[in-house]
Amino acid sequence: MQDQLIGLFPPGTELDDDGALVIAGCPVAELAETYGTPALIVDEGALRARARAYADGLAARWPNSRVTFASKAFPCTAVYRALTEEGLGIDVASGGELTLAVAGGADPAGLVVHGNAKTSEELRMAVDAGAGLIVVDNFDDIDRLELILAERPGREQGVLVRVTPDIRPDTHEAVSTGQAGSKFGLLLPEAREAIARLRGSDRLRLDGVHVHVGSQIMDTKPFEQAVEAVAGLGTFDVYDLGGGLGARYTYRDSPPSVDEYLDALVDSARGTLPAAARILIEPGRSMTAEAGVSLYRVVTVKHGRPTFVAVDGGMGDNLEVSLYQQRFEATVATRVGGGGPVRLVGRHCESGDVLSAGVPLRDPRPGDLIAVPVTGAYTYALGNNYNGARRPPVVFCRDGRHRAVVRRETYGDLLRRDLD
Ligand SMILES: Cc1ncc(COP(=O)(O)O)c(C=O)c1O
């Protein structure tokens, strides 16, 4: 059981002689002492290794390709920088993510700009930044882009059309995006109409099509179906096949590996897409989730049925439980494994502020450190100031060295935007 638990932490995580976690060579007690809690710990080596596994794996199977990191999963400058250094393109879904990506060193030509409600200001930002591809999600995007390009004589903008193929993967409905009735993209008949319009445009260059059917997908079928759906739309230079591969959050989860996912995707592409086409993929969750660990300190233990173990963070730094009922495992970081089930809760004023229900913790006491693995995706991104919570630092660990890449918010930060 202890091995299984350690298997959820970044590869290379080990126990010291006292049974305490050591992440990327860094003892958890030292990390908590240095940066305080709560803190989001990232094994930088594991993050970079995952990026290389994706990039090398896709290139080996389909050389004319690129992995584009869906940065909504972890939009922090240091993550943009690391993944850009590993050769990835970047998917952004707002002017804010675009700003962060450029600050993190992303090459604008490798940016793919998304959004179901991109404002004219954001489209202008993307065009002026030199974004390689803008993904058209609706007919207003086309109208707005035509106007923006008309003001910039001689400029041309590459675009993709986002297709909604009416595929419903087996995942939480909040993160399912490819079904009919989704707010994202265009159903096949409308997509054909948009393609026809764009083929007639002399300012917008239609490079291809895009499809993304959802997130935390645990089998390869929906990805294969999505490839078949976009293949039926015609011959293009670029097919962006989206992201969505699931992460392994719990013992029970068994998502396809990156290799299994790429095998399925590229096998499907080989049968259906033009051999000369360029394939893009946009992994987010599966790129960063498993490199992250949240560290908390126990504030109080309330014995009873259930026993509540309340820590110094919660839904301010991890909304995944409240939004999608995501299950997380956890352990006392200095006494790993064992123990009886408790309700691990946060400090926020909602009964739904739960980090993990029924998770075994060994003899948890106030002051103990708690580690929650697989928190590297959509936790930092969804961090908030509920109850005046100061958002936690992000700490990169590698080969026994650690550094904060984002500092903890201060109470002063909470006041900074108030004008009156
Ligand atoms: C267009 C698009 N691409 C990629 C992703 C990344 O998905 P995931 O984090 O599940 O890999 C998303 C996530 O919602 C998305 O909307």
Question: How many angstroms does the Cα of residue 281 sit away from the middle of ligand 1?
Answer: 10
DSSP letters along 115-171, please? -SS--HHHHHHHHHHT-SEEEE-SHHHHHHHHHHHHTSTT--EEEEEEEE-----SS
Give yes or no: 349 in active site: yes
Q: What are phi and psi of 27, to 5 degrees?
A: -65, 135
Q: Which two tokens stand for residue 303?
A: 């014995």
CA angle centred on 329, ends 328 and 335, rounded to 5°: 150
Evaluate if residue 2 carries a pLDDT over 90.
Answer: no
Give me the long-range contacts of 410-417 (CB less than 8 A, separation at least 24): 414/385, 414/388, 414/390
Evaluate if residue 1 carries a pLDDT over 80.
Answer: no
Q: Which three-class secondary structure string do you get for 77-111?
A: HHHHHHHHHCCCEEEECCHHHHHHHHHCCCCHHHE
Pocket of ligand 1 contains residue 114 by CB under 6 Å: yes
Question: How many angstroms does the Cα of residue 335 sit away from the middle of ligand 1?
Answer: 36
Q: What is the pLDDT of residues 268-320, one digit of tens each?
A: 999 899 999 999 999 999 999 999 999 999 999 999 999 999 999 999 999 99
| Per-residue pLDDT, 109 | 98
Question: How many angstroms does the Cα of residue 183 sit away from the middle of ligand 1?
Answer: 14
Q: Which two tokens stand for residue 418?
A: 């108030």
Q: Measuring from atom 4 of ligand 1, which residue has the nearest CA?
A: 243
Domains of the chain: 2-44+289-415 (2.40.37.10), 107-283 (3.20.20.10)
Q: What is the pLDDT of residues 191-223, one digit of tens each?
A: 999 999 999 999 999 999 999 999 999 999 999
Q: Please, which residues bridge with residue 239 across strands?
A: 209, 279
Element holding 199 (H helix, E strand)? helix 188-199
